[in-house]
Amino acid sequence: MSEATMVAAAPVADPSLSYNDSVAGAVVGTWADDTDQALFVAPDKLLALLTHLRDAEQYDLLSSVTCVDYSAYKGKARAGVAERFDVVYHLYSTKKGGGPVRLHVRVPDDDTVPSATGVYPGANLQEREVYDLFGITFAGHPNLRRVLTWEGFNGHPLRKDWQEAYFDEETKPFKNRHPAGSYQWQEDKLPWGDNNTYPAGWDPDSWEEPVSYVPVSQAPHRGFGELDTQSIVINLGPHHPSTHGVFRMLTRMEGETILALEPEMGYLHRNHEKIGERNTWLMNMPFTDRLDYINSMSNNLGYALAVEKLLNIEVPERAQYIRVIMAELTRFINHTWSIGFILNDLGALQTPALYAIEEREMILDLFEEVSGARLMCNYMRFGGVVRDLTPGWEERAKYLVHDRLPRALDQLDELLSGNEIVKARGRGVGYLSAQDLIALSVTGPMIRAAGVPYDIRKAEPYCIYDRFDFDIPTLAESDIYARYYIRLLEARESIKILQQALRDIPPGQINAYASATLSQGFGTIMGGKGGYTFRPVEGEAYARVEAPKGELGYYVVSDNKTNAYRYHVRSPSYINLNALGPMSVGYKIADAVVILGAIDIVLGEVDR
């Protein structure tokens, strides 16, 4: 075995550390003790420890797998550590609830880490992302290939030594733009045609595109009587209305039956996380709007919570209520919109979606009133929200949550739930067991439609969700119909939370603007001190919210600088696609369209 393929060597273990009494020598140290403490794990003990955590400790959900390149780290805590990379794991228990077990595996350059897919199949897409963007090889991965960039892409974009075309500087604000302002466009400096970099020895004129990956059959070949047919490969997308954006499903078919299906994404990839590491901490807030652009308020909230962990900021009471109100209005928008598009995929073109859109527009009116925007709200700030509610806003919101929104849900329920086509096309189609969904790292309405009462707002409460009386609806069927109906039930619970929040919100300063240079607004809608730039303590933090599509998590690493050293988004739209293939095998090609629609993805969040 060459040095390039050797598994990273194991450091010396401390028997007093967690889990070493169960898996001897597994844990070799700790990291980020002052923020979110993580355990350093010996690479050769990783799979044994993961198996123990899953089977003996009930950590059945591998939520997040990512990586950090520490080659440019300026903090003091990393002193003396030779390994360049850390592969980072966050594990949770859907049975016990509570916080995570955080694991780091140190990896020298060009070494290999054992793949976790044999223990947690949900590591599949996440390990492929780490391989693609960092170049870490996972030994034993069943399908290790690039996922967000294309085969033949030059380099690994999230490595600290990788530079994009038109590279300016490592971090913002760029000195040639601020404060001097004497900026000249890079395009004006370079001759057209020379704005690409190619690998050494690679000739774009002679290059031939490799043969597209074709999934291996996941089901046995079947003949039809005397007629013996051959399977064929059919592409759905990337330019097809059924794929909800620029997304491709590679399917192997026998007749109209799906034998295998692989999701192919990355067509909208813009290296969101690299941009986030160039930006200052605050600059990232409007970029989160553009992930799941249906749910910008939830995106803002998750990122704010992660950075607030590092800053140790206490959010004022009124701002906590405003955050919950915005998040639950967002959930209502998402679920009604999702129901409309599931019906679109079933063939009820536009009519159900247009029935749901009227109330959505009224909610967006409220968003626009406080944030200035309807979709890209950029409303949350570290410590609170950017503006207080305007006069009369609460009364208009109360009208919606007590009158219009419940009536809209009643109407959708009456018109759709008993429809014979919805029942015929939805019941028993796209089934996957709760155990398989959790093993694939699926979260959100998908697992609650399989009977798993797991909701982060209850399992690990954030903001002030523990003050509200609401239920976690579950359905046992785990099919398309259940995934449709669970969203209707969850929207009703959101209305219950909204009614309580609007009733109990404490008074505060009206029309206050949380400025970084003026004192007005702080104390009622903002905590902490003003400032466009700040230096969080050295360490790391992971914060997650129950976003409408599932667990939305933000993993951030600080080296006590004004820019995030590492910024990672745990995207539910992306990770829930682990289940698309298993849910589609054995069903018809027409069913695959609805199975995808019932996952409820947004490509801005998938591709990042």
Of 336-345, 471-480, 509-518, give the lowest mean pLDDT range.
509-518
pLDDT digits (tens, 9 = 90+) for 581-600: 999 998 999 999 999 989 98
Mark which of 83, 106, 139 sits at the end of a domain. 139
Mark which of 86, 104, 139 sits at the end of a domain. 139
Q: Among residues 367, 366, 387, 383, which one has the least CA distance to residue 375? A: 367
Which class for 374: exposed (0-12), middle (13-18), buried (19 or more C-beta within 10 A)? middle
Residue 376 lies in a domain: yes
Task: Please give the average per-residue pLDDT across 9-13, as a whole number.
Answer: 54
Number of folded domains that form the chain: 2
Helix locations, 45-143, DSSP H: 46-55, 123-134
Residue 562 lies in a domain: yes
Residue 169 lies in a domain: no
Q: Are 419 and 362 in contact (CB under 8 A)?
A: no
Q: Which domain holds residue 33?
A: 3-139
CATH number of the domain enclosing 481: 1.10.645.10
Task: Please give the average per-residue pLDDT across 330-346, as a whole number.
Answer: 91
Element counts in the chain: helices (H) and strands (E)? 19, 15
Residue 162 lies in a domain: no
Q: d(Cα 232, Cα 64) in Å, to the nearest integer? A: 35
Residue 304 lies in a domain: yes
pLDDT digits (tens, 9 = 90+) for 216-270: 555 555 666 666 677 888 888 787 777 777 888 888 888 888 998 999 999 899 9
CATH number of the domain enclosing 110: 3.30.460.80
Model-level pTM?
Answer: 0.88
Q: Are 170 and 278 in contact (CB under 8 A)?
A: yes
Task: Please give the average per-residue pLDDT across 417-421, as a whole number.
Answer: 91
- Mean pLDDT highest for which of 7-11, 31-35, 206-210? 31-35
Q: d(Cα 585, Cα 583) in Å, to the nearest integer? A: 6
Q: Are 339 and 481 in contact (CB under 8 A)?
A: no
